[in-house]
Amino acid sequence: MSDSDLVLCERRGRACWLTLNRPDAANALSLPALKRLRVLLAEVATDGEIWAVVITGAGAKAFCAGADLKERRGFNEAQVKDFVATIRATMDEVAALPQPVIAALNGHAFGGGCELALACDLRVIDARAQIGLTETSLAIIPGAGGCARLPRLVGAAKAKEMILLARRMTATEAYACGLVNEISDEGAVVAAAERMAAALLRNGPLALRAAKAAVDGGLDLPMAQALQHEAACYRRIIPTEDRLEALQAFAEKRAPDFQGR
């Protein structure tokens, strides 16, 4: 398999689907796979024609098993440090995409696979899948954002439970604590993600970007500053053609025809 096949990129209308394509290795994140993913992320980030992104895995068993431990066994300490820096940067780049990102968890998501899901904005999980940050069972810790992002999503107590006990959650448990947004029927996560993407694409694409920026940028700010940041994000939308189109469509009782302008 060539490096370009390690992560597949497919345009489905205004949505871009990125598929981790190492099903025989549980879609583990090898260094070449990370490099390929980063190339695609850089392209997606600057493409104004892409209004939503979906990240999923090939096959039915795993979304992503995390770092490729077979590859890791051959690394010296310096190489391990470089790899951890690379996978952390990759997750940061996922989180920094201006478009809303859906993680379609077609199978188990452990370690770095869970961290990849955490870097996305929305998560839909197959009913059979499990998810967890299992690194402490390997005598390491989550190093690609898991220790920072998980408690912000589910609270510190639940995050410590998952991380310290290396606990694997069922889809039902993950939904109950707010880790995922939706559970799909068995084998139907792609269809569920397509419906979620379609719902996103019915909304103004520039508004989606501004809303994501308002939420993400305000999370760690004091309330007064978060409100100022929200106001700044709103001001970006006021002069857009899409805002005027939405008002016109409302008056004419029709669906708006957004153009991303």
Q: Which residue has better confidence, 61 or 122?
A: 122
Give me the residue spans of the domains in the chain.
Answer: 3-201, 205-252
Annotated catalytic residue within 107, 112, 132, 146: 112
**pLDDT value of position 208:** 97
Residue of 26, 62, 103, 115 with catalytic role: 115
Please, which residues have CB within 8 angstroms of residue 202's CB and are 6 or more apart in sequence?
255
Using only C-alpha atoms, what is the Rg of the chain?
Answer: 19
* CATH topology identical between 3-201 and 205-252: no
Mean pLDDT over residues 110-138, rounded? 96
State both tokens at 213.
């920026």
Q: Dig out the tokens for 169 from the structure.
A: 């959650």
205-252 fold? Lyase 2-enoyl-coa Hydratase; Chain  A, domain 2 (1.10.12)
The answer to whether 112 is a known catalytic residue is yes
Please, are residues 70 and 116 in contact by the beta-carbon 8 Å criterion?
A: no
Distances (CA, A) of 215 to 102, 104, 181, 228, 249: 16, 21, 17, 12, 27
Calculate the alpha carbon distances from 77 to 81, 84, 99, 146 in Å: 6, 11, 36, 21
Average pLDDT value for the chain: 94
Q: Which of 28, 65, 67, 193 is catalytic?
A: 67
Looking at residue 3, its pLDDT comes to 79
Q: Summarize pLDDT for 215-241 with one digit per residue, the tens.
A: 999 999 999 999 999 999 999 999 999
Q: pLDDT band at 197, cuts 50/70/90? A: very high
Say which of 15, 52, 135, 143 is annotated catalytic. 135
Sequence-ordered strand ranges (E) for 13-107: 15-20, 52-57, 62-64, 101-105
Catalytic residue status for 135: yes
pLDDT tens per residue across span 200-211? 999 999 999 999
CATH number of 3-201: 3.90.226.10
